[in-house]
Chain A
Amino acid sequence: IAGITQAPTSQILAAGRRMTLRCTQDMRHNAMYWYRQDLGLGLRLIHYSNTAGTTGKGEVPDGYSVSRANTDDFPLTLASAVPSQTSVYFCASSDSGLAGGNEQFFGPGTRLTVL
């Protein structure tokens, strides 16, 4: 693995189903993030984690949950998917979440469609 990987690449999901998007990084970065990207809107932060064992809510956290059991993995769970959660989801990481100047590295994204 080099950088950040996400799985699945794409998924079509029935409304009401539970879904977990996976994210793994091998850069030993302390901070990890989940964003959604919708047409005409900027990336919006869903949840973040500044270090293993801690998580925080971003701008649009409702309907999503995360966990950070270790440094490398940061899964995002949709407990009961709704059509408004149709989006492209990006996972990102940075060396530190509490310092300026740390660029974020992005995974390839997961394209999720909820019907």
Chain B
Amino acid sequence: GQNIDQPTEMTATEGAIVQINCTYQTSGFNGLFWYQQHAGEAPTFLSYNVLDGLEEKGRFSSFLSRSKGYSYLLLKELQMKDSASYLCAVMDSNYQLIWGAGTKLIIKP
């Protein structure tokens, strides 16, 4: 079966750094996506990794290791507006996205 695992909830302090992990087992691999979803809103795209390594985009970075079936999203200089759920999704061999349940990130002052 196909499976995406990520922690249910994490707490971090404003100004700090947090790493959200995602492990996956899927039928084929055509890339891994991270989305941000604020409560009551739609998911919005953050990053895409298809090759091993780190992709940096401002305060957000995403890492991928295909051999380990592992990714992480790194958020630096945390702001209160970063309080949201972060969704990991893998595109399988049929180009369909398989989604994790999401990690709710709580930022404390």
Partners in one complex: yes
Contact between chains at A43 and B87 (CB < 8 Å)? yes
Q: Is the CB of A42 within 8 A of B4?
A: yes
B97 within 8 A of A: yes
Kindly state the interface size class of chain A when it binds its partner. Answer: 20 to 34
> Looking at the complex, which one of B42, B97, B98, B102 makes contact with A107 (CB distance below 8 Å)?
B42
Of chain B, the residue at the smallest CB distance from A98 is B95
The 8 Å CB contact of A100, one of B50, B89, B98, B99, is B50
| Interface residue range, chain B | 20 to 34
**Docked-complex contact B87 and A45, CB < 8 angstroms:** no
The answer to whether residues A101 and B50 also contact, given A90-B42, A107-B42 and a CB cut-off of 8 A, is yes
Q: Which residues of chain B are near A58, meaning CB under 8 Å?
A: 96
The answer for the CA separation of A104 and B50 in the assembled complex, in Å, is 16
Pair A90/B95 contact, Cβ less than 8 Å:
no
B101 touches which one: A42, A99, A103 (CB < 8 A)?
A: A42
- Contact for A45 among B31, B97, B102, CB less than 8 A: B97
**In whole Å, how far is A37's beta carbon from the nearest beta carbon of chain B?**
9
A30 to chain B, nearest CB (A): 12
Cβ-defined contact, A45 with B96, below 8 A: yes
Interface bits B87-109 vs A (CB < 8 Å: 1, else 0) = 10101000111111110000000
Q: Which residue of B lies closest to A4 (CB)?
A: B42
B7 touches A (CB below 8 Å) = no
Report whether B99 and A44 are in contact in the complex, using a CB–CB cutoff of 8 Å.
yes
Provide the bound-state CA to CA distance between A109 and B100, in Å: 18
**Do A42 and B95 touch across chains, with their CB atoms under 8 A apart?**
no
Contacting B at CB under 8 A, from A22-64, are 40-45, 48, 58
Contact between chains at A108 and B101 (CB < 8 Å): no
List B residues at the A interface (Cβ < 8 Å): 4, 30-31, 33, 41-45, 48, 50, 87, 89, 91, 95-102
